[in-house]
Amino acid sequence: MRHQAQATEPSARTAPAYQRIKDHVLQQIRGGAWTEGMLIPTELVLCKQFGVSRMTVHRALRELTADQVLLRYQGSGTYVAPAKIPSTLIEIRSIAQDIRDRGHRHSCHVLRLERTTVSTTQAQRFHLPVGAPLFHSIIVHYENAEPIQLEDRVVDARRLPDYLQQDWTRTTPNEYLMRAAPEPTGRYTIEVKLPPPGVAEPLDIPVEQPCLVLDRTTFSGGTFASQAVMWYPGNRYKLAGQS
């Protein structure tokens, strides 16, 4: 639930210019005028609105980005960040580490490893230019030779140029990203879905078997790094975490 915008205190008129800009942005968000995922006015527009330098506006937006109020994408703009809901946050760990922690053996099989490009839909979702290079992988992970996860992932080829050269029998994409993409942040959804044949077959389950599906997008330094859709057979896997 968003809070209603509050009236500006008289003392706010004497606040530093960058603070007045921050207060304005927060009021627009809390009042519902600017909603999650919305592109906010450019720095130039805010400069003209407040009669200040671009450096002042940049400081205000930089601090709001550090506070996770805004998300900034180079070449795309500044957007309202998703609301933080602590009760739903979980830590997404490497599937291989989870398996090793249970004292079991992890192995994997690479179904697809290829170069591709950003589609129109992906450009809107990840704030990347259409046609930019991506790497695409589909990997099935096994616990003691039984398939428990199908991982369908794309990564930004410009940021992670050595992705295709990794030995996925020795590491997982999740473990690789933790090393290659510093200070990762992410957003995710979790749903229950019936698997299409291309997912059911490598997981060795019928298409009538529900799966737990985790769709996670990872950012590093505020820009897109990777997106993965992970399918878990509902009769073999339980997703757990700590809030």
Give the residue extent of every domain in the chain: 10-80, 87-233
pTM for this structure?
Answer: 0.63
User: Residue 7: what pLDDT?
Assistant: 39
Integer-rounded Cα Rg, in Å, for the chain is 21
- At residue 3 the predicted structure's pLDDT band, cuts being 50, 70 and 90, is very low
Lowest pLDDT segment from 88-97, 182-191, 205-214: 88-97
Q: Which of 148, 84, 137, 86 lies closest to 114, judged by CA?
A: 137
pLDDT, average across residues 80-106: 70
Whether the per-residue pLDDT at 4 is higher than 80: the answer is no
Whether the per-residue pLDDT at 241 is higher than 70: the answer is no
Same fold, 10-80 and 87-233: no
Whether the per-residue pLDDT at 233 is higher than 60: the answer is yes
Q: What pLDDT, in 10s, does the model give residues 15-31? A: 789 999 999 999 998 88
Q: Are 196 and 207 in contact (CB under 8 A)?
A: yes
Query: Using alpha carbons only, what angle is made at residue 201 by residues 196 and 204, rounded to the nearest 5 degrees?
Result: 120
N-term to C-term CA, the chain? 20
CATH 3.90.1150.10 for domain 10-80, yes or no, is: no
CATH architecture designation of domain 87-233: 3-Layer(aba) Sandwich (3.40)
User: Residue 98: what pLDDT?
Assistant: 83
User: Residue 9: what pLDDT?
Assistant: 42
